[in-house]
Amino acid sequence: MIQSELLHQQLSFSQLPLRQELIKSIASLNYENMTPIQMQSLPIILKNEDIIAQAKTGSGKTAAFGLSLLNNLKISFFAVQGLVLCPTRELAEQVSQAIRRLACLMPNIKIINLSGGIPMKPQQDSLRHGAHIIVGTPGRVLKHLKSATLDLTQVKTLVLDEADRMLDMGFFDDITSILSASPKQRQTLFFSATYPEEIKQLSKQFMMNPKEVVVGTPYDEIDIEQRFYEVTKHTHKFSLLKSLLLHYQPVSTLIFCNTKQQTTDVTDQLIHEGFSAIALNGDMEQVDRDLAVLRFANQSCSILVATDVAARGLDIKELSAVINFDLAFDHDVHIHRIGRTGRAGNKGLALSITTPADAQRICAIEDNLSCPIIWGNTNEFEHSHATRLVPEMVTLCLALGKKDKIRPGDILGALTKDAGLAGNTIGKINITAMRSYVAIHRSHVDKAYQYLQNGKLKGRKVSVRKIS
């Protein structure tokens, strides 16, 4: 097993046996320093060896396997040579976009996202013209295999991203079928936040002498302040959650629940109490899931209430707080949850609501900490009369998208040059096939709305609405 001693070696991307186009694209993307997972895994992967790597979301693992996929491609050979399996459509989309950015200086590379929640026919039509790399979810990839619209017989590298979550979601049989449909002589890469027994089982069956890479501790305890609060009954949890939000006043909060129904119930209660909240779970329509993630990421919604599975693939760089409304069932998942806050040098806050029934889980968490658990005092909240934070941004939805040749620069230019908004009042701009979404500072949203409603974008009238 390769541990953190490699972290002390100074290794740059230019020292790796990568195509020059990839070296140049890395420089253009301002990837100055390799992350620990990249330093430890890339030299092994580029030797075409199998690997099992433990790495959390946001560690840079996508670039690690993305670079290797692109480096090994025979571009003139229009067949599927690389396959990446992800647990959710959100993560699959994020991964495919990241690989496309890395391939920006490699002409004629075709990457297709095969995920559920969208129609099969456009995917089938796209596959007829061939592809180099497929990124998708197990269920949809297997569906294409069964309908003979996808051929994996030429795959050279197969990646399982967030392998543990896919197994938690019950994809073991689907993954086994997909692995069996690809050549035995291939490279197989597993990336996972945890290392459950099922991964060991898969590795024995489908991998060739895999190297194991573990990147340090999943989070830095110094950067994350952990507090545990106990209530006597489960029915008292929401009252405490409300007090925590009012006391700590986090700008953005990710709340974890263990069931889909609980995410809906907690979100409804928060909205009823005047908080800005939205749910994220697997029972939601894909368009609603996408919009929930978008609004939370662009800071037009303050609170996202999610299950562990639905939250995989979220890459929120500045997350003020994580609150465990329900404690995770095992220690590794708990660490993965709270590791989402306190990133990029920011101070993180992780709050957990417990009941006496959680005693065993708490002991498991404490056994893996370097210091005793700190219990918060709920009495300090009794006289809290703080107001509810209102999101800084508001999302506007425009009925024009990629099909209309709309680019972020078109929207930004219209709002700054024509509508007269300052650039710093405009937040993230997201463009989908049929719609465009732009976050506007709350104090300027009416001005932006009036302009878009009465003006034109690229010479065309546009329908616009506020999303709340």
Distance set, CA 40 to CA 32, 55, 158, 162, 211 (Å):
16, 11, 19, 18, 11
- Residue 419 has a pLDDT of 87
- In-domain check, residue 388: no
- In-domain check, residue 435: yes
d(CA 217, CA 219): 5
pLDDT in tens, the chain (468 residues): 444 444 445 578 888 999 999 999 998 888 877 888 999 999 999 999 999 998 766 678 899 999 999 999 999 998 999 999 998 888 898 899 999 999 999 989 999 999 887 889 999 999 998 999 999 999 999 999 999 999 999 999 999 998 887 887 678 889 999 999 999 999 999 998 777 788 888 998 999 999 999 885 444 444 788 999 999 999 999 999 999 999 999 999 999 999 999 999 999 999 999 999 999 998 888 889 889 999 998 999 999 999 987 777 676 767 899 999 999 988 878 888 888 887 656 788 999 999 999 998 898 888 877 778 889 988 877 655 678 889 999 999 999 998 888 888 889 888 988 888 888 899 888 888 889 999 999 999 999 999 998 888 888 888 999 997
Query: Same domain for 189 and 233?
Result: no
Q: Which two tokens stand for residue 5?
A: 């001693």
- Residue 219 has a pLDDT of 44
Query: Same domain for 54 and 200?
Result: yes
- In-domain check, residue 142: yes
- Residue 9 has a pLDDT of 53
How many CB atoms are located within 10 Å of the residue 188 CB?
A: 21
The CATH number covering residue 407 comes to 3.30.70.330
Query: Same domain for 86 and 9?
Result: yes
Which residue, of 162, 180, 214, is where some domain finishes? 214
Number of domains the chain contains: 3
- In-domain check, residue 12: yes
Query: Same domain for 59 and 162?
Result: yes
Query: Same domain for 191 and 238?
Result: no
| CA 142-143-145 angle, 5° bins | 60
Buried b (16+ CB within 10 A) or exposed e, 62-89: bbbbbbbbbbbbeeeeeebbbbbbbbbb
Which residue, of 318, 350, 381, is where some domain finishes? 381
Query: Same domain for 121 and 9?
Result: yes
Query: Same domain for 172 and 269?
Result: no
Tens digits of per-residue pLDDT, 100-128?
999 999 989 999 999 887 889 999 999 99
Query: Same domain for 368 and 401?
Result: no
- In-domain check, residue 386: no
Q: Which two tokens stand for residue 327?
A: 């404690």
Q: What is the DSSP letter of 300?
A: S
- In-domain check, residue 183: yes
3-state SS, residue 417 = helix
In the sheet that holds 111-114, the strands lie side by side as 111-114, 133-136, 82-85, 157-161, 187-192, 51-54, 211-214
The CATH number covering residue 330 comes to 3.40.50.300
Query: Same domain for 426 and 343?
Result: no
| CB neighbour list of residue 363: distance below 8 Å, 6 or more residues apart | none
How many CB atoms are located within 10 Å of the residue 153 CB?
A: 9
d(CA 340, CA 329): 18
pTM score of the predicted model:
0.64
Q: Which stretches within 207-358 are classed as H helix?
A: 237-248, 260-272, 286-297, 308-311, 331-338
- In-domain check, residue 219: no
Q: Evaluate whether 411 touches 398 at the Cβ level (below 8 Å).
A: yes
- Residue 383 has a pLDDT of 56
Helix (H) / strand (E) containing 51: strand 51-54
Query: Same domain for 335 and 407?
Result: no
d(CA 422, CA 415): 8
Query: Same domain for 355 and 427?
Result: no
> Which residues, listed in sequence order, are joined to residue 118 by a DSSP beta bridge?
none
Q: Which among 23, 213, 4 is positioned nearest to 104, based on CA atoms?
A: 23
Domain that holds residue 310: 224-381
Query: Same domain for 16 and 111?
Result: yes
Tens digits of per-residue pLDDT, 263-292?
999 999 999 999 999 999 988 888 898 899
Q: Which among 325, 353, 360, 323 is positioned nearest to 338, based on CA atoms?
A: 323
Which residue, of 157, 179, 214, is where some domain finishes? 214
- In-domain check, residue 387: no
d(CA 177, CA 181): 6
